Amino acid sequence: MTTPSKPTREHSPVLWRLFGLFLATVFAFSAAPSILTAADNANTVYSEAVEAHWKWNLDEAIRLYTRVISLDPNHARAYFNRGVAYRSKGDEDRALADFTRAVSIAPDIQDALYGRGLIYLHKKMFDKTVDDMNQVLKLEPKHAGALRVRAEASLALGNTDAAIKDLNEALKLYPLDGESYYLRGSAYLKSQNIPQALSDLDRTLEMNPKHSGAWFKQGNALFIQGKTDRAVESYNKAINLDPNNAEAFNNRGYAQSVQGNLESAVKDLTRAIELDPKFIMALTNRADVYRRLERNEEALQDYNRLPAIKKPDTVLLIERGRTLLDLGKFKEATEDFDRVLQSEPHETSVRTLRGRARLLSGHPKEALEDLNAVLQADPDNADALVHRGMAHLEQKNYAAAVKDFSRSIQESPSRATPEMYYHLAIANLLNRNLDRAVDAFTNAIKLRPTYGLAYANRGVAYKDKGDYRQASQDFRKALSLLSKPSRKQAVTRLLDETNGLMRSSPQTDLDRVLSGGSRETGSPEPDRPKFW
């Protein structure tokens, strides 16, 4: 994961309250003469338009402002006021056009520049926002609103130092402005200054405990500090205040997955996707949680929904390839790994995965090509050694398999798994190294006492050694652990033969245990030797 979430929505609705300043300006304009000389009737209509605007009769005000403009095409304030009315009706495009026309007529009309900059901010045209706020601040250097808006645009552009500098100045002018503390806290969070970010966000929440954005950002900061429980509490408050915040659900879901609360994580991530069906991070996070829950079909569905999968996004292709492997869709997994290696041909971990996929799809020769290349670049790669050992087993090169499995354990003894010892034991058994086979099966059983196949095949090794008493004990133990009927039948026959002191081919005995079925109680591996 990566960071816990995408950044919060950058455009605070609080900023739009600044449009209230425009109305005050509108009314002030009604008593002033027009910037350009206009006919008396244009000024009369303008006064009527302002009165309608004051009464919040927006359609009538717009009609009258339009009439003023038809009488005096250079009436900058009529354009500006009509833009304010359009903005009040939610028509940003017309408001933007009117503010731009007002500025073209009167470049020093500060409020038109400011209003246009706010619309640019809302439209995520951040460079233009900064340009307009620069012009406002030339006209009025202590314009706190312009400092704050420019800071928000700078933050969106990644210029955190510039944003912090502007917000410092804004807070000198208005030290009780909670929104400026919130934005500065966001900037500190983005620059990884977590203590300062938390200080500013705490100050925001002291002034406005219902600021959902501040709770959300506080959750992000706490998560980065590793305080996951407290982060979840902050996300809870953010969601209670804003139940439609998809990012908060995503982040809380991810935090809960870190806590191990996987089912709760799925619920939160699902809600995030319901709120925003194209939320790539939530889909990716849910797919990861599904994989941890071994709900691989659902994980695959999420990966397939991601538009980035259609592009050479190597991380997502690798994860989908892993999921396809777990589902036994080896050909499709190989295709995903092929796509990754086209752009990253020297990525050894992906070559190892492709080698595994090729092996499981019945192509040990091609698998060996991948795994030999990996081990040439990284001779001590334990995973590649295990997989190459499996490929050697498939090709009945048992001595080479023993060598690779032994090296894989020697390279990382603390990471040795029951499967690694089991593979080594099978290779030794097939290579007729019976004592070593017994030792390796015993190590596998120590790591997993319910390993039914290990008991069954250790019994085969003991039987071939002539230790029928120990073989009989192992066969009986295997019967208590195995669930696959065909395996239980094979072990029962071996037990009967052992008890009757009847010898059979060691190779035939091994095949009887390994053949048929897919899983057993207490043992996660498939029938054929393929443990990864």
The per-residue pLDDT of the chain, averaged, comes to: 87
Question: Above 60 in pLDDT, residue 512?
Answer: no
Cβ-defined contacts of 392-399 (< 8 Å, 24+): 392/368, 392/427, 393/423, 393/426, 393/427, 393/430, 393/529, 394/359, 394/364, 395/364, 395/365, 395/368, 396/430, 398/427, 398/430, 398/431, 399/431
Q: Which residues pair with 520 in a beta bridge?
A: 523
Query: Average of pLDDT values for 382-389?
Result: 92
Tally of CA atoms within 13 A in the half-sphere of 52 that contains its CB: 20
Q: Which residues pair with 523 in a beta bridge?
A: 520
What does each C-alpha distance from 349 to 303, 324, 382, 408, 415 come to in angstroms?
A: 20, 16, 11, 15, 17
pLDDT of residue 14: 31
pLDDT of residue 415: 87
Query: Average of pLDDT values for 438-453?
Result: 96
Question: Above 90 in pLDDT, residue 338?
Answer: yes
Residue 502: pLDDT band (50, 70, 90) is low
Residue 97 in contact with residue 82, Cβ under 8 Å? Answer: no
Query: Average of pLDDT values for 435-454?
Result: 96
Question: Above 50 in pLDDT, residue 30?
Answer: no
Q: Closest Cα to residue 401, out of 366, 364, 438?
A: 364
CA distance 427 to 75: 91
CA triple 518-396-358, angle to 5 deg: 60
Residue 240: its H or E element: helix 228-241
Residue 311: pLDDT band (50, 70, 90) is confident
Q: Closest Cα to residue 38, out of 60, 59, 69, 82?
A: 69
CA distance 468 to 448: 24
Question: Above 80 in pLDDT, residue 25?
Answer: no
What does each C-alpha distance from 225 to 155, 197, 221, 338, 356 come to in angstroms?
A: 22, 12, 6, 38, 38
User: DSSP letter at 502?
Assistant: -
CATH code of 311-409, in short, is 1.25.40.10
Q: Closest Cα to residue 143, out of 121, 103, 113, 119?
A: 113
> What class does CATH assign to 417-532?
mainly alpha
What does each C-alpha distance from 512 to 33, 451, 509 come to in angstroms?
A: 103, 17, 5
Cβ-Cβ contacts under 8 Å for 346 (sequence gap 6 or more): 377
Tally of CA atoms within 13 A in the half-sphere of 27 that contains its CB: 10
CA distance 280 to 303: 9
pLDDT tens across 238-284, in order? 999 999 999 999 999 999 999 999 999 999 999 999 999 999 999 99
Residue 40: pLDDT band (50, 70, 90) is low
| Range with the poorest average pLDDT among 128-132, 182-186, 313-317, 349-353 | 313-317
**How is residue 368 written in tokens?**
């060996």
Residue with tokens 């640019």: 120
Q: Where in the chain is the domain with CATH 1.25.40.10?
A: 311-409, 417-532
What's the pTM value of the predicted model, to 2 decimals? Answer: 0.73
Residue 308: pLDDT band (50, 70, 90) is confident
Question: Above 60 in pLDDT, residue 183?
Answer: yes
